Structure formats: C-alpha cells, structure tokens
A and B are shown apart, each in its own frame.
Chain A
C-alpha cells in the first residue's frame, strides 16, 4: 500500500460536560451514577408547559473554556433548537447553538513527539444540553433521562491535523486545559469528555478534501489514535483498489481493532434548526467577561512557566510534570514535603512515571503517595541511604505501598556512614586482593575504582559513597 502518496485530513469534535451542580436548564442534580431517572423533572423530560432557565455557572465555565483556548467571545449569541427524533431526546429537539455560537476562532499549540510544536485551530465552541442514555436490551430499549439536560460545550477544531499522533496530542492538550481550569471532569469512561473524528484522505499536493468519514464516540486517547490510524489505511486501501469512499458514520471496535459502519450519512439529517423561542439571546457583558477572566484558574502553560522558575526545571521536565493537573499537584506536594525540586522532578519523572507507564496506570492510582516519596528523598538528602539503595527501596514501595523507613528497617538497608565499620571492610578488600594492590602501588591509580567497587559490593551497596571513596584512597596511599 502506498500510504506515503496520501495525506489525511482530520478534524475533531469534542463534547465536554461542564462541572456544574445542576443541569443546563433546570435544577436537577448534574450527577453521574444515580439510580435511573431520579435526576429528572418536567423540564428535562420535556413535559408540556415547562420552560428552560439558563444555568449561570454553565455559561461561566463555557466562557472560561473559550478564554483558555484563546477564542473570541461573542457578547450576543443565540440558542437554537436542533430537531431530531430519538427516544433519549424527550422534547424532540436538543437546545444547542447553531448560526450564532458564543465563541469562535481559537487555537491550541500542541507538542509533537518530534519536539516540534503545532498550532491547531478551533473553529467554534457552543453550548448545548446532553441527551439521555439508551441501553439496548434484547427485549427493548431502556431510556434513562438522568443525563438529559446536562450542560455541554462542543469544541470543534479546524481540519488541521494530518495524522493520528497530532489528533491524539490535540485531544490530550484540550483535556488537560479543561481539567486545569475546572471546566470538565474529563472522565472519558463515564463519557463526560467524548470525541468524534472526521477523517478524509487525499493525494499529497492536492487541495480538495476527500469524502469524509465520521468516527463516533471513542472513549480513550489510545483508541482515538488507533481508530484514526486504521481509518486512514482503510480509506487509502479502498481508493487504491478503485473504490469510492462513502460518507458515513463509523464506530471503533476495540475488541477487533477495526472501524465498523454505524450508518450511512445522507441528506436525511435535516435538523431544521431555528432560534429557541423559549430563551432570550445569551448576553455576555464585558463586565461579566472581565470577572470570569479574573477568576481563571491556572492553565497548563502558566503552570509550566511557574515550575520552570520555581523549581529550576528544564522546558521538557516542566512540560511533562504539568501535562496533567493530577501529576502537577502530586509533584508540588512532593516538593512541599522534601524541599528538593530537582530531586523530586527526577524521582517523579524517571522512577514513578516510568513504573506507572509500564504498569499502564495513571498518577491517580499511584501506590506511592506524595508524602511517602518525599520521605524517601529526604532520606537520601540526609545521607541515611544512598541513591542506589533508594532505588531498591522505591521498587519495594511501588510494589507494596509501604513506607521507606519500614522497608529500610526490615531489610537492614541503612547507609553505613561509620568510618570504623567501613575501614575494616576496606582493609579486608585490600588484603584479599594483593596483586591489584601491588599494581596500584606501582602506579596504576585507576584501580582505585576497583577497590571502591569491591567494598561497595561487600556492603551490599550500603556504604556512604563519599566516605568510602575517601577511606579507600587514604588506606591505599598510606
């Protein structure tokens, strides 16, 4: 297959639920996991005569998102009815925004694995309400309306991405920003951050877009990347074998690692949008806007700059440590306890993240708490254990969640800093290696390392390295 001849064009649509107490247009709790149909009322079940009232906080969070994504905010925007027929949409229409969204024209800068940065445009953000949830059983369809009316923003990107990696990085960056600014929980499994991808391919060098295929509701970053990669290959293969790409909606089957047809997208999707007559125009005054801007929480980019300055970290280290809000908080707590920024960065990035990644776990379920890791770093700084022993201790901490001090005690791993004890070890090593000693004396001074190594081995790595070095040199030269 000649994939190189082709270029793919990818745009993403993200639906993010807003972290409010109540729903978008009624006072029902916005809460995941309640018993079915308990967070429902006449408004969100579409009873005749009920009227929507806009949740102020939802608008504030939406504006926050627009600020964080460098978007333009429109002081006047209009809610619209999107009409379609589906049982989890009790009113027969979804309140959304159409011709006049509250925000347009933003961007995110993402970092690629090549080290380059890429700016990805955001076309628009608009408010809408979530639909209910349908569960399809053998005997029928069960509809739960707890989610109906939960506030959402839909963030539509420009078709700026050219491969699965770029799409993945865009999503990660967007997710991180929404989490940092307390806009969206970002729990993809619970569906409060959902992604649809539009993908087409075209011959490199051509301008015209190919026919696009929509991938619906993919619930992890990994799956998004895999699904896009698969879809690009599928489309190229189809074109190369003389087929025509059909405009359709497909879903990702994570068991089989393939995309499958959900439905053909035809002209039947006529949503008959019109302005929502039950709601006034959405007015965002400049005073309100300034207020929201003033209360903006720290964003990943700002956290990164702060980390660089406060903890003297490199650009790369700071960007890794601020890649998620949870990780940044964890790191800051470690530093707060041990007061050693550089060491904290090394331990979190190399030891902790390395092991978490290998185990496929997130920082949220780390077996080593912030205070536990800080205590370990303090023991290195005070000379109680060596850095090398600390790695063994950490391995045990990661496996068992035990404190460093109890592992050190149980395994007798305390660093030997007693000169008398070390001296006797060194003497033993020198006596046991007379020929090396003779060579050293004859001028082969680099054998110093050999004696240090042997003595370290003898103490199972527990000797205080600086002291040991000094003693070996002293005894060899005496």
Chain B
C-alpha cells in the first residue's frame, strides 16, 4: 500500500491539492496501478525495448529544409484564450 506521504509527493509533482478523502482514494487506486506495473516487470525486456521496434537501418532523417505549416492560425484556434498572437494562460508562479 502506498503511504500517505507518497501520494502527497505525487500530487505535488502533478500540481494537485487533494482532500483527505481523495488521499485515501488515491492510496488505494495508485497502489493498484503500481501493482499492475509490477506484473509488467515480469516481462523480459532490455532497457531499450522501447526503440527495438524500429530497425537500425531505417532511413530516419529529414533534410534540413524549412516548409512553414500552412495553418498556424488553426492551431491557435484550439487555445481557450489568445492575446497578442500568443497563448494566454493564467499567471504562472514557480513553486518553491
């Protein structure tokens, strides 16, 4: 079972504030998730298994030619708020 402190540390990394009920809930839920990862650990893999699906001789490079994307405005339209052609977000304060 994950400790209360471990849940609070993960919550801090995720920038989340949890209620007492939620802490108890995630203690259980995250323990189950990690348990599943433990199961996966039994699979024999090397550290590089992630990239093994790509053959080493694959032509993996692109020539250095710039080609601007045709619809950057379209990307901006996904944003909840835009100001001065920039994505507008709530003020970011670095946590200490």
Contact = CB atoms under 8 A, between A and B. Distances in A.
Interface of A: 20-22, 27-31, 35-42, 45, 47, 53-59, 78, 85-87, 99, 134-136, 139-145, 261-264, 267-268, 270, 274-277, 279-283
A477 B34 CA distance: 107
Interface residues of B, number: 42
Interface of B: 9, 12-15, 47-48, 50-51, 53-58, 60-69, 72, 75-76, 81, 83-92, 94-96
B26 to A, nearest CB: 17
A78 B90 contact: no
Contacts of A21: 64-66
A8 B88 CA distance: 42
Among A27, A56, A58, A134, the most chain B Cβ lie within 10 Å of the Cβ of A27
A37 B51 contact: no
Main secondary structure of the interface of B (DSSP, over half): loop
Nearest to A132: B87
A280 B92 contact: no
B90 A141 contact: yes
A57 B68 CA distance: 18
A434 to B, nearest CB: 82
A168 B63 CA distance: 36
A280 B52 CA distance: 8
19 contacts: A21-B66, A40-B75, A42-B69, A54-B60, A78-B48, A85-B13, A85-B14, A134-B92, A139-B88, A140-B83, A140-B88, A140-B90, A141-B91, A141-B92, A143-B86, A145-B87, A275-B48, A276-B51, A280-B55
B51 A275 contact: yes
Contacts of A58: 64
B51 A36 contact: no
B66 A57 contact: no
Given A28-B68, A58-B64, A37 B54 contact: no
Contacts of B54: 279-281
B67 A59 contact: no
The 6 closest A-B pairs by CB, nearest first: A57-B64, A41-B69, A280-B54, A142-B86, A56-B61, A275-B50
Contacts of A78: 48, 51
Contacts of A264: 96
A155 to B, nearest CB: 21
Nearest to A267: B9
Contacts of A55: 61-62, 64
Contacts of B55: 280
B92 A136 contact: yes
A133 B17 CA distance: 27
B48 A87 contact: no
Nearest to A58: B64
A28 B65 CA distance: 9
A144 B60 contact: no
